[in-house]
Amino acid sequence: METKKDTILILSGGMDSVTLLYDYKERIALAISFDYGSNHNAKEIPFARLHCERLGIEHIVIPLDFMGKYFESSLLQGSEAIPEGHYADENMKSTVVPFRNGIMLSIAVGMAESRELQYVMMANHGGDHTIYPDCRPDFVAAFDAAAHAGTYNGVHLISPYTNITKGQIAARGKELGINYAETWSCYKGGDKHCGKCGTCVERKEALADAGIPDPTEYE
């Protein structure tokens, strides 16, 4: 029996969402990337497009220019503003883009209702909880309830990786045969991964935890 294509995936082009794309490829009808003016959007989005083309999944990019103009975040202020260190460090809070997931999910839910699709999916994980309020289980539950209540077809939010680590996601990617060289993590968005920002440190740890030789080219 063929799996129904009933889901929209928010796809950045990073390790987590690319893994989710392959993990649930049979049910993803559409993947959406958002260009919100971050340093690394230009690096991530081409990888999102590459994987969707490979899998034959429709992919669109929606611009959110206003976030770069009006929101305060080091992620929107150029590579020199990005702090170095581990995600657990206090200074990493500067990389929070206020309510980013809430905004993106709202658009995706509207798209799902417009296309009569039942689910929206995002790739938050357990390691995000410390820094990002809109990645935590209570946010996921609240947004799922709001999406279901606010749409005629009762759209639901699915976030399968909420309570697992990035290392466990990488291990799943290893099972799926994903080449993580075809993903982007670095918040600085240079020609190569910097190797020092929170996302680079987390990427290195996740690949090591999964027993995957790191294919990333670092500065």
**For 154-192, what is each residue's pLDDT tens digit?**
999 999 999 999 999 999 999 999 999 999 999 999 999
3-state helix, strand, coil in the chain (%, to 5): 45, 15, 40
Known binding-site residue numbers for Zn(2+):
186, 194, 197, 200
Residue (of 64, 62, 63, 155) closest to 114 by Cα position: 155
The number of beta carbons lying within 10 Å of the beta carbon of residue 69 is 9
- Domains in the chain: ranges and CATH: 7-209 (3.40.50.620)
pLDDT tens digits for 42-101?
A: 999 999 999 999 999 999 999 999 999 999 988 888 787 877 766 555 666 788 899 999
Distance of alpha carbon 151 from alpha carbon 77, whole angstroms: 35
Q: Taking the CA of residue 59 as centre, how many other CA atoms within 13 Å lie in the half-sphere pointing to its CB?
A: 21
Type and span of the H or E element at 158: strand 156-158
Known binding-site residue numbers for ATP:
11-21
Type and span of the H or E element at 121: strand 119-121
Known binding-site residue numbers:
11-21, 186, 194, 197, 200
Beta bridge partners, 33, equal 61
The model's pTM is 0.94
